[in-house]
Amino acid sequence: QQPKLAAGYKLEGDVLMEQKLPQEAVKLYERAFQISRIGALQVQLYRAMQAAGQGPAADARMAAWLKDNPDDLPTRNYLAGTKLAARQYRAAIEQFQYIVGKDTANVVALNDLAWAYQQEKDPRAQTTAEQALKLAPGNPAVLDTLGWIVLQQGDVKRATTLLRQAASLAPKAPEIQYHLSVALVKSGDKPGARRQLEQLLAANKEFPQRAEAQALLTQL
């Protein structure tokens, strides 16, 4: 009924994605994007292309969009997040650096940038995490990131304090609880670490660090 509007094509693409038909969804998102060239549709098109096995083409399209629209920070942030999740840390760092350069108070981007720096053993990791903590001292994700970074750098006492704070603020976040367990082991509190790990494993059947948590518990 409204062939000149993008909405119908976009919604049909959404349905196809739910049906696990990304190649078909790409065609619909492409039609929507040709009608309405906006960042939100570029994101949907990128997501579908990635799911359809068109990763290099998707990256090329996204790069072209960001070149023409450098300050589309929501789209750039989406790309950074996908690269971080894919452990493509250098690519994620490039995007997060641009974001925080434009928005110095973006706590989420700063926190993610600090984490990516740490994975690349970049010495800027701690200072970036400290900057995020100044902006959001009660944010458990920020406390966790900084705690984990300083733990890796050997400051077990401060790390344990930070991770205790993070764990108390986010009791249902298994990754944070696991990080606290590791800090407790390194601090010499094996009984505390054992309790922490037992509670973590009992409460969470599936989480990314489950195998590591089970292995750590067997060593105590």
Question: Quick check: 179 and 148 in contact, CB under 8 A?
Answer: yes
The pTM (predicted TM-score) of the whole model is: 0.90
Question: Quick check: 54 and 26 in contact, CB under 8 A?
Answer: yes
Using only C-alpha atoms, what is the Rg of the chain? 21
Question: Quick check: 180 and 164 in contact, CB under 8 A?
Answer: yes
For residue 183, the model assigns a pLDDT of 97
Report how far residue 100's alpha carbon sits from residue 87's, in angstroms, rounded to the nearest whole number.
Answer: 20
Task: Extract the residue ranges of the chain whose pLDDT is less than 70.
Answer: none
Beta-strand (E) ranges in the chain?
Answer: none
Q: What are the angstrom distances between the C-alpha of 36 and each of 28, 42, 116, 157?
A: 12, 10, 33, 54
Tell me the helix, strand and coil percentages in the chain, rounded to 5: 75, 0, 25
Q: What are the angstrom distances between the C-alpha of 35 and each of 10, 32, 41, 204, 211?
A: 10, 5, 10, 45, 48
For residue 106, the model assigns a pLDDT of 96
